[in-house]
Structure 1
Amino acid sequence: MRRRPLHTQCCDKEIDMKYISTRGGVAPIGFTDAILMGLADDGGLLVPEQLPRLSDDALKAWRSLSYPELALELLALFMEEDIPRDELKRLVDSSYATFRDPHVTPVVKLRDDLHVLELFHGPTFAFKDVALQFLGNLYAYVSRKTGSVIHILGATSGDTGASAIEGVRGKEGIKICILHPHGKVSRVQELQMTTVQDDNVLNLAVEGTFDDCQRIIKELFADVPFKRQYHLRAINSINIARILAQTVYYFYAYFRLAEQGHAGPVNFSVPTGNFGDIFAGYIAKRMGLPVGKLVLATNENDILARFVASGVYQPGEFRGTYSPSMDIQVASNFERYLYYLYDGDTGTVAALMERFKSEGRIEVPQDMLRRVREDFAAYSVSNEECLDTIARYYESYGYLLDPHTACGVAAADKRSDEGEVTVSLSTAHPAKFDEAIRLRNISQVYPEPIQTLFGKPRRVTVVGNANDQVKEQLEAFFG
């Protein structure tokens, strides 16, 4: 049994931050090596060797910081060993200068017990911009400083691809290839990716589901000789930098409620598919943020909700829904959670993931399930519930939810207990999913950057659901 201490007390002394694999097969490495490795070479996922534990004084001191100032303080805890503070500040400031709202991620009050954290004010109108604007600039910085070749490979259920492409398009020394499930993303999501004409961008539409795209990506990254030959770098949330950047808005939202006089813990309801966004909230809680329950909201692809209910993690039948970015059966970040659930026991995590590979299921014992439920509540939201929530909130509050955000709000309503305050994460602008919203006879005006997409030519290659077909495209593009 290989256990590691999971926390270190945050103080004036600098933390020697290193990163290890959830499966224990990678020696501790620095932050730059971690983001370049992406998926750990032993097939696991990289995590901080220790998490900083923030004091009450630190939380109080950070309450009045702007979003970029807060991001700098938090990210420096994880990166300052490799990136000097002045350089990190420039990366943070340039990343969030692209957002349309001065608060970057503003909090909107709908009721005394329910607030919405708007994460869609970045260039592609999706929450993925918060991390991927930063990661794109980070990769460009690392490429310049180290002379590293940056060939980015990622999969998307819709929003990651557009955000990742926007973050690196036209950047010298970087090429990016994104896989998306052919015909299974929204029209706007597809146009945001495929109308980009920069020569350092390749879009592959895979004849399959997002889980197929994700499987291909993970298998190509696990092929270490191929990964090294073509200098493959990760943009999906298997890259630890994505998770760290997303922790910031949990702190920011909590501080906004504290400014309004709220003194207790705050619940966060999170539309969930790949477990990355809610895992960032879990990390924030472990760092000392007063989080009550993390409300895990799924659509009809409910593997994670079933896990919290039963302790069994097992894919079900794939269902196409009105919230396609959550149409995921295998959540890649779940392995990171298992690492913390089992107190850093990498041997157990490796065995569980091997069992999942061979048997297609993981089951945790009842004592572990009780620990899961201390942190998480989980609710599955049907297609009709999702649309009904959109209509109800538009009628009652004049506030238009996208289908993914509606799943989070519906889950928050199911959870609602007297005296609790919940922040529901709004992961995308409703204009990205107009097909679903029109089903409830609600019309909206597209923001100008989205409206202009419809007249642009597209660049996309359709490939079969096979590693070899994707490899052939990568060898030509990256070679």
Structure 2
Amino acid sequence: MRYISTRAAGPATEGKRFCEILLEGLAPDGGLYLPQSYPQVSSTTLSAWRKVYHEQGYAALAFEVLSLYIDDIPAKDLRALCEKTYTAEVFGTGEIVPLRHVEDGLWIEALSNGPTLAFKDMAMQLLGNLFEYELARRGEELNILGATSGDTGSAAEYAMRGKKGVRVFMTSPHGRMSPFQQAQMFSLMDDNIHNIAIHGVFDDCQDIVKAVSGDLDFKRTHRIGTVNSINWARLLAQVVYYFAGYIQATEGAPTHGIGVSTLPAEADGVQKVSFAVPSGNFGNVCAGHVARMMGLPIDKLVVATNENDVLDEFFRTGTYRVRAAANTHETSSPSMDISKASNFERFVFDLLGRDGQRTQALFGNAVPKLGYFQLGSDPLFAQAATRYGFASGKSTHADRLQTIRDTWSRHGILVDPHTADGLKVAAEQRTVGVPMVVLETALPIKFASTIVEALGREPERPAKFDGIEALPKRVVEMDADVDAIKALIATICQR
């Protein structure tokens, strides 16, 4: 398996192996890595994986999926890394990603049982183990520079804390995360964890990461890597739970006391499933796109946005228009307060027939210069829905409050604001006979003020997080200045 940049000059471009791009993150030309082709999963293979999942568990399924993309780590080592990562001790349940039944044909896939109570743990825990493994194999160190709107930062820091050969420099928008999210990150006192609160919005943080990664001399000198979803390894890890969700939704989940599904099959005899994904940076739903390209029978991939509806606008009109910081709304689903979806480039690359030069013209030229591009009149745009299955919708503060109330009163299920956005948009996109799986984003305690506003009471708090907001904090505030960030990294690396 070889990987190419989304801005590669042509199909003959020589690809890189997995462990090269694992530590590299962004490609030297500014593009994002994707496999030269997607491995195909037949119905026979999917049936075999169903058996693997039920008899051996999530870690075994993860190995099956990952081994299609990773051929430069010995199979026994990759299997051991999966088994080390996906355990009941880390994720609170041996099922790892159980489905919760909401109502007939509607499910929530529980992805937030990890150490930081957010779906980002699903990939970040594996990424931490992969980094440690490969760095030890090479005898090298890595300085991770990341950007977070709330959950990526804490998931990365909890996954990397104490890891040999790894430092983390995590940027976040000052004052724009929930108090719980801030406390999770800023209360960590590990020597290899460094938090930087940027005066700006998430997109400013993301721009810093891309700018530093684009300075190839600095990147090589200081061994800069990434944990944001621009890193292919993280997105790849997320592909696994689409397969796990599909398997459960098409068989029911008797271990949850829900019973066995009796859903009708499609005309071709294959039962399809739709997924609704709360999305700001497009990483989570892009993993679903990869699973669908592999052959997983996905009907719709539903992109649910909040008031920062850049992605919804594109799928409705064909116009991708980023917003300036002043026009990026501060919302009650803050992890999606993003107006520059970095992972979106991967899908557009596929949509354009893997034309790297055209992708470069859009993301490398048009977006930086104009702030937008338009594909609405391009015949290829229609394929976003017809060939690739994408649909979208928008949820507002009033919508998520009502969804939280309704889901609690009707079903006794408490959801966080982002998952509420997913449920709201999922309801608009459901198809009779096709199960809809909403991907859970985080546990409600991470956004307690919105739950209080919706229901008049605090959500349940895991005991290990009691009093976290009152803990001492270690964080540096800085302006959105790339040179200043590079100077800070260089100084700390010299200690």
TM-score surpassing 0.5? Answer: yes
Q: 2:74 corresponds to which letter in structure 1?
A: P
Q: 1:21 corresponds to which letter in structure 2?
A: S
2:352 is aligned to: 342
2:374 is aligned to: 363
Q: 2:297 corresponds to which letter in structure 1?
A: P
How far is 1:472 from its partner?
A: 2.0
Q: 1:31 corresponds to which letter in structure 2?
A: F
Computed over aligned residues only, the root mean square deviation of the Cα atoms, in angstroms, reads 1.1
Aligned partner (choices 192, 199, 202) of residue 200 of structure 1: 192
How far is 1:366 from its partner?
A: 3.9
In structure 2, distance between residues paired with 1:28 and 1:196: 38
How far is 1:418 from its partner?
A: 2.8
Contact 2:351 2:381 in 1 (8 A): no
> In 2 relative to 1, CA 103–448 (structure 1 residues): closer, same or farther, beyond 3 Å?
same
The reply to whether residue 259 of structure 1 matches residue 251 of structure 2 is yes
Aligned partner (choices 421, 429, 447) of residue 407 of structure 1: 421
Corresponding residue SS for 1:77: coil
Aligned partner (choices 67, 72, 78) of residue 69 of structure 2: 78
Q: 1:112 corresponds to which letter in structure 2?
A: D
| Within-5 A mapping of 1:99-248 | 99-248=91-240
184-193 or 361-370, larger mean C-alpha shift: 361-370
In structure 1, distance between residues paired with 2:219 and 2:321: 29
Unaligned segments of structure 1, at least 5 residues = 1-16
In structure 1, distance between residues paired with 2:457 and 2:396: 19
2:35 is aligned to: 48
Aligned partner (choices 395, 401, 405) of residue 381 of structure 1: 395
In structure 1, distance between residues paired with 2:168 and 2:129: 14
Contact 2:276 2:436 in 1 (8 A): yes
Aligned partner (choices 17, 23, 26) of residue 7 of structure 2: 23
How far is 1:451 from its partner?
A: 1.6
397-406 or 441-450, larger mean C-alpha shift: 441-450
Q: 2:61 corresponds to which letter in structure 1?
A: L
In structure 1, distance between residues paired with 2:482 and 2:458: 41
Corresponding residue SS for 2:286: helix
How far is 1:82 from its partner?
A: 0.8
Corresponding residue SS for 2:4: strand
1:419 is aligned to: 433
In structure 1, distance between residues paired with 2:464 and 2:116: 9
2:405 is aligned to: 391
Aligned partner (choices 266, 269, 285) of residue 292 of structure 2: 285
1:101-145 deviation line (CA, Å, top 9, x unaligned) = 111111011111210001000111000000000000000001100
1:7 is aligned to: none
How far is 1:188 from its partner?
A: 0.9
In structure 1, distance between residues paired with 2:493 and 2:4: 28
Corresponding residue SS for 2:274: strand
1:325 is aligned to: 335
351-360 or 156-165, larger mean C-alpha shift: 351-360
Q: 2:165 corresponds to which letter in structure 1?
A: G
364-373 or 94-103, larger mean C-alpha shift: 364-373
How far is 1:452 from its partner?
A: 4.1
2:316 is aligned to: 309
1:293-338 deviation line (CA, Å, top 9, x unaligned) = 0010000000000000100000242111000000000000011111
The reply to whether residue 434 of structure 1 matches residue 448 of structure 2 is yes
Corresponding residue SS for 2:434: coil
Q: 1:298 corresponds to which letter in structure 2?
A: T
Aligned partner (choices 280, 283, 303) of residue 276 of structure 1: 283
1:12 is aligned to: none
In structure 2, distance between residues paired with 1:170 and 1:61: 37
In structure 1, distance between residues paired with 2:44 and 2:432: 29
Aligned partner (choices 71, 75, 85) of residue 95 of structure 1: 85
Q: Sequence identity of aligned pairs in percent? A: 40
Aligned partner (choices 17, 25, 34) of residue 21 of structure 2: 34
In structure 2, distance between residues paired with 1:33 and 1:307: 33
Corresponding residue SS for 1:53: coil
Contact 1:220 1:226 in 2 (8 A): yes
In the TM superposition, structure 1's runs of 4+ consecutive aligned residues that sit over 6 Å from their partners are none
How far is 1:220 from its partner?
A: 0.7
How far is 1:68 from its partner?
A: 0.6
1:48-76 deviation line (CA, Å, top 9, x unaligned) = 11110111100001113111110000001
How far is 1:397 from its partner?
A: 0.7
Corresponding residue SS for 2:39: strand
292-301 or 165-174, larger mean C-alpha shift: 165-174
Contact 1:105 1:117 in 2 (8 A): yes
In structure 2, distance between residues paired with 1:136 and 1:478: 20
Q: 2:461 corresponds to which letter in structure 1?
A: Y
Q: 2:493 corresponds to which letter in structure 1?
A: F
1:8 is aligned to: none
Contact 1:188 1:450 in 2 (8 A): no
How far is 1:189 from its partner?
A: 0.8
Contact 2:276 2:438 in 1 (8 A): yes
Unaligned segments of structure 2, at least 5 residues = 253-260, 266-270
In structure 2, distance between residues paired with 1:234 and 1:22: 17
In structure 2, distance between residues paired with 1:395 and 1:257: 24
Equivalences, count: 462
In structure 2, distance between residues paired with 1:225 and 1:174: 20
Corresponding residue SS for 1:51: coil
Output the TM-score relative to the length of structure 2: 0.92
Q: 2:34 corresponds to which letter in structure 1?
A: V
In structure 1, distance between residues paired with 2:45 and 2:313: 37
1:469 is aligned to: 484
In structure 1, distance between residues paired with 2:470 and 2:43: 52
1:230-278 deviation line (CA, Å, top 9, x unaligned) = 1001100000001110000000010012222444211100000000000
Corresponding residue SS for 2:250: helix
